[in-house]
Amino acid sequence: MIVDYREFYRGRKVMITGGLGFIGSNLGRQLVDLGADVLLVDSLIPDYGGNLFNIDGIADRVHVNVADIRQPSTMNYLVRDRAVIFNLAGQVSHIDSMRDPYTDLEINCRSQLTVLEACRNNNTEVKVVFAGTRQVYGRPDSLPVDEGHLVRPTDVNGVNKAAGEYYHLVYNNVFGVRACSLRLTNVYGPRQLIKHSRQGFIGWFIRLAIEDKPIQIFGDGSQLRDFVYVDDAADAFLRAGASDTCNGEVFNVGGDEPLSHRELTTLLVEVAGSGRVEYVEWPPEKKAIDIGSFYADSAKFKRTTGWSATVSVRDGLRRTIAFYRQHFDRYVDAAARPAEQV
Amino acid sequence: MIVDYREFYRGRKVMITGGLGFIGSNLGRQLVDLGADVLLVDSLIPDYGGNLFNIDGIADRVHVNVADIRQPSTMNYLVRDRAVIFNLAGQVSHIDSMRDPYTDLEINCRSQLTVLEACRNNNTEVKVVFAGTRQVYGRPDSLPVDEGHLVRPTDVNGVNKAAGEYYHLVYNNVFGVRACSLRLTNVYGPRQLIKHSRQGFIGWFIRLAIEDKPIQIFGDGSQLRDFVYVDDAADAFLRAGASDTCNGEVFNVGGDEPLSHRELTTLLVEVAGSGRVEYVEWPPEKKAIDIGSFYADSAKFKRTTGWSATVSVRDGLRRTIAFYRQHFDRYVDAAARPAEQV
């Protein structure tokens, strides 16, 4: 079955929540190429990751439905005839979650119950793949981190993502709504939001490099991270969606080359041929939720599905920079600029 | 400091959410005896554990404020001048949480943000002790279960209790709202709800024994549990509330004598001198969320606070049966009987 996971999607009705966002749209592009019937659901909330330009070139081969996954009756309808749901919608800013914990709860926690209740009541045949996050582990006890590590979130966003993930496992085990979760590490690549700095640092760093601006590193930049190119992340979703061996399980999905912030930014500036690195003191509110070094052990997912990361960080950065250089105005516009300062 | 933890409460302003409920009211009785200024907050939602008779004899020595912890402005006001909050309010039925996951989310998850936001914005000096549950561990990998065991809830109630607990740790670590969580196992004793069977099996078994009715055991009754008498549980809260060593930590609080359901019910029938045990097939909806045997390792809490369980199960059952025999009508009334069948 693992050999045929791409064939599995031919003519298959799938839905992607957060489908106009970063990972969702890249996944949607792969699914279109595989001949799937693709429904993209996105709330297009300003300042979140949804961007209609993300489906440029495939817009006539997907269905787009603007909707909020917090809305039960809408979800009840949309899930009806879908074979696979890639459940990627969410609020991703850690800082926002600490300023406004209720909104984060509604979007990352309660909304997952809405999706799952819709499936339980309208489509128990569906398979759901949830976009989890390494964020749930918090500060690691040891490295690399595998799935046996305690869940110990350091911010409200992490708590709500953990709860959203647990709901999926409960609905798999109790109601037979097949589900699994991929705990993604740092995903990067084309179509990531770079309007502001609150959706992952790497997209923001790439933007600064392209703009030939200083890239600020907090502290000495020695903290390690692993990185996954978005096409590799999308491939992980495809494999999980086609595999019943994954049901009821959580999997780390990370990269193979842990790099320090210092190494990453040095490489980025080199590949871009622009930008420069600047070291600054930790802002207290960020230091309070910093987790030090983190990189994941993804052996469980590799073993279960045959997945591996195929794009090196150097190559991924090169492709990403080329994409944004070509389409910069689609991702950074004058109207959005005030938000950068937030 | 551990030696003086009871003295710590003299004249101290404390609040108990769920204060008219089972553990809350027993804790309130101890605090009154210690000379604390006790505010009991309870929503008195029908079918939940709040019962005004629970403060019979101390009603003139406590402040009662009927309020729902889901209500932000109320909580903002009530937390203002409290030194310690024992945060016990919650919905405890696992079955209800699967029928109506949203209500469980509101009461066990969102409400905790409300309490913590109230503290963050109005009283950062407060100490909060959260009533967690062994339920968050799900089906154990090995026994006894200590705090290094993965959190892997088997039902929606467990997910929401886990999220509620994680919020407390985040607010401790990020906002300096000192907090810790006690993961209680099976607490029993006087003043537990016995109107229906959805608030823990042991209270229900005690009622059946008193009524000289058959006590139904699912399967062969070999699954193990540990039990904590409510006065011991209340003592655990007192110790945690007075100890800053506990801040930011989770602790198991369980009993020392794991008993099978078979052993427990045999003992219960013997102590009560009434009732009888009946073995029946597992109902599928209960089997789906059963976790097999469970008993906790409470060594971390004992080491940190000096706590230990002092009441044997035999003695605890004897005291509990005597209490309910004396006050049966206050806990089981004709109007409530239809709910028993739910």
Residue of B nearest to A289 (CA): B174
Contact A167 B156 (CB under 8 A): yes
Contact A150 B154 (CB under 8 A): no
Interface of B with A (CB under 8 A): 98, 101-102, 105, 109-110, 113, 117, 148, 150-156, 158-160, 162-163, 166-167, 169-170, 173-174, 288-289
Query: Of the candidates B110, B159, B288, which has its C-beta nearest A166's C-beta?
Result: B159
Domain count, chain B: 1
Q: Which of A194-198, B48-52, B306-310, B328-332 has the lowest mean pLDDT?
A: A194-198
pLDDT level of residue B1 (50, 70, 90 thresholds) = very low
CA atoms within 13 A on the CB side of A232: 26
Q: Which of A215-229, A298-312, B323-337 has the lowest mean pLDDT?
A: B323-337
The strand ranges marked E within A263-305 are 276-280
Contact B156 A150 (CB under 8 A): no
Interface of A with B (CB under 8 A): 98, 101-102, 105, 109-110, 113, 117, 148, 150-156, 158-160, 162-163, 166-167, 169-170, 173-174, 288-289
| Tokens of residue A192, six digits | 């990531």
The answer to the question of residue A329 being in a domain is: no
Query: Of the candidates B101, B109, B110, which has its C-beta nearest A117's C-beta?
Result: B101
pLDDT tens readout for residues A32-44: 999 999 999 999 9
* CB–CB contacts below 8 A, A to B: 80
Q: Is the dihedral of CA A60, A66, A67, A73 positive or negative?
A: negative
Contact B163 A159 (CB under 8 A): yes
Tell me what pLDDT residue B342 has.
Answer: 32
Contact A102 B109 (CB under 8 A): no
What is the mean pLDDT of the segment spanning A234-255? 98
B159 vs chain A: nearest CA distance in angstroms?
6
Contact B148 A153 (CB under 8 A): no
What is the mean pLDDT of the segment spanning B22-27? 98
Contacts of A160 in chain B (CB under 8 A): 163
What is the mean pLDDT of the segment spanning B74-82? 96
Contact A101 B109 (CB under 8 A): no
Give the whole-number percent of chain A exceeding pLDDT 90. 88
SS3 A39: strand
Contacts of A151 in chain B (CB under 8 A): 150-151, 166
Interface test with A, best of B159, B173, B180, B285 (most A CBs within 10 A): B159
Tell me what pLDDT residue B46 has.
Answer: 87
SS3 B300: helix
Question: Is B3's pLDDT higher than 60?
Answer: no
Query: What ipTM was assigned to the predicted interfaces of this complex?
Result: 0.92
Among A166, A29, A318, A293, CA closest to B157: A166
The answer to the question of residue A236 being in a domain is: yes
The strand ranges marked E within B263-303 are 276-280
pLDDT tens readout for residues A17-63: 999 999 999 999 999 999 999 999 999 988 889 999 999 999 999 99
Q: Evaluate whether A133 touches A161 at the Cβ level (below 8 Å).
A: yes
Interface test with B, best of A135, A147, A166 (most B CBs within 10 A): A166
Tell me what pLDDT residue A3 has.
Answer: 53
The answer to the question of residue B339 being in a domain is: no
pLDDT level of residue B95 (50, 70, 90 thresholds) = confident
The answer to the question of residue A93 being in a domain is: yes
Query: Per-residue b/e over A295-323, b at no fewer than 16 CB within 10 Å?
Result: bbbbebbbebbebebebebeebbebbbeb
Single pTM value for the model? 0.94
A72 vs chain B: nearest CA distance in angstroms?
11
The answer to the question of residue A317 being in a domain is: no
Residue of A nearest to B138 (CA): A170
Question: Is A183's pLDDT higher than 90?
Answer: yes
A173 vs chain B: nearest CA distance in angstroms?
8
Residue of A nearest to B176 (CA): A288
Q: Is the dihedral of CA A267, A268, A274, A277 positive or negative?
A: negative
- The domain of A162 spans 7-191+227-255+296-310
The answer to the question of residue A300 being in a domain is: yes
Contact B156 A162 (CB under 8 A): no
The answer to the question of residue A239 being in a domain is: yes
Tell me what pLDDT residue B286 has.
Answer: 77
pLDDT level of residue B336 (50, 70, 90 thresholds) = very low
Q: Is the dihedral of CA B3, B7, B13, B14 positive or negative?
A: positive
Among B193, B191, B200, CA closest to B55: B191
Q: Is the dihedral of CA A42, A47, A49, A55 positive or negative?
A: positive
Give the whole-number percent of chain A exceeding pLDDT 70. 96
CATH of the domain at B304: 3.40.50.720
Query: Of the candidates B152, B170, B289, which has its C-beta nearest A155's C-beta?
Result: B170
Contacts of B150 in chain A (CB under 8 A): 148, 150-151
Contact A169 B152 (CB under 8 A): yes
Contact A159 B148 (CB under 8 A): no
In angstroms, what CA-CA distances link A192 with A92, A135, A188, A207, A216?
12, 18, 7, 10, 19
The answer to the question of residue B176 being in a domain is: yes
Contact B170 A152 (CB under 8 A): no
pLDDT level of residue B153 (50, 70, 90 thresholds) = very high
Question: Is B223's pLDDT higher than 80?
Answer: yes
